[in-house]
Structure 1
Amino acid sequence: MPEVIRSGAVRLLINIAFFQAGWLICVIVSNEVAALAGFALVGAHLVLVSQRPAHEALFIGLGTLLGSLMDGLWFWLGVLVSPEPYSGLIPVWLVALWALFLTTPGHSLAWLAAHRRLVFLLSPVAGAFAYWSASQLGAVELRAPLLGLLAIGMGWLLLFPLFLSWSQHLLREPAAS
């Protein structure tokens, strides 16, 4: 079994690379194969990057559940529409995308914890922008783009500060011995 990477800078770069690659795969391919690739990247993150894999797996699982419920609401209300049929609450590639995203609050986005005001300014904009980008790539459709993006932004305004706070408590690296 590979050893966890010790260098914080290398772990940060891997976290960024895994998330960006996973986002592109999930959004461009947007099917079950993309979901498998996304979940594989989450697994690789837990093995190579995470300093507390059990805690982080719990964090990712809980966050993925909440994010998927929020997206399920958007699909149910017609804010988001899938161009492809799917079974379940939301398309499985989107569940994988949530899991991938939740690898970032404890790593590449952890710096935001020291800038709480910035969290509340950036999260609705960045969250909505990600969905708009996915819609431009054909992964989802926004029925009423302006209202939909406002609703999605408000959802991110609620969820991301919560995720960041949870990550600071659950993923705090163990003290060196």
Structure 2
Amino acid sequence: MPNRRLIANALLFQLGWLACVLGGNSYWLAVPIVALLVHFFWVSSWAAEGKLVVSVMLAGAALDSFLLQMGVFTFVGQESLAPVWLVLLWALLGTTLNHCLAWSAKPIWRAVLLGAIGGPLSYVAGAELAGVGLPLGERNSALLLAGVWAVVFPLLHGFAHLYREQYRTQQLARRR
């Protein structure tokens, strides 16, 4: 059963990513919301991962809003804050840290490497599909994002570890 949940977690993330990137702020946002609900009802639980998903979503929204203000991206109709679809992508990413991407947490170089490669690839591919502007150009944007994600992804795994330990401690305390 755990393998099914890992596969479901990866598929839910990919499906949500596509719906967000291709659908933008439209009715397609129902897809990542359903993906989050399926995650919390079947793959994991709100008690176990709610704090992580919300933390990743808020941190990501702040980071992407900052990068937007710094001129790294441009979104049609969005001048100061990351759009809702991008914020939902961060929530979806939060669901993967203890599941299909857990392998990348240790040793830390895996998180650094995956962040440095996967982060920029996701942004560049997403920008192309979603019509997001990259005023610095693809190459410069990718290089900048590689540096950002080489730091951010290990930090997100740190959140995951911290909240996982808090949850375990709470569960042990309840059993006593």
TM-score tier after normalising by the smaller chain length: 0.7 to 0.9
> Unmatched 5+ residue regions in structure 2?
none
State the AA in 2 paired with 1:100: L
Provide the rounded CA distance (Å) in 1 between the counterparts of 2:131 and 2:47: 31
Provide the rounded CA distance (Å) in 1 between the counterparts of 2:71 and 2:28: 24
**1:60 and 2:88 equivalent?**
no
Contact 1:70 1:155 in 2 (8 A): no
SS of the residue aligned with 1:79? coil
How do 1:39-58 and structure 2 match up within 5 A?
39-50=33-44, 52-58=45-51
Of the three residues 82, 90, 113, the one matched with 1:121 is 113
> Unmatched 5+ residue regions in structure 1?
1-6
Of the three residues 25, 28, 43, the one matched with 1:31 is 25
Percent pairwise identity: 30
Provide the rounded CA distance (Å) in 2 between the counterparts of 1:89 and 1:31: 13
State the AA in 2 paired with 1:121: L
- Higher relative contact order (Cα pairs below 8 Å, separated by 6+ residues): 1
TM-score (norm: length of structure 1): 0.86
Q: Give the number of the structure whose residues are more often helix, by fraction.
A: 2
What do the CA deviations read for 1:154-175 (whole angstroms, capped 9, x no partner)? 2212211011122123236858
TM-score (norm: length of structure 2): 0.86
User: How many pairs does the alignment contain?
Assistant: 169
Q: CA RMSD in A?
A: 2.1
Q: What's the counterpart of residue 85 of structure 2?
A: 93
Q: Note the C-alpha offset of 1:87.
A: 7.4
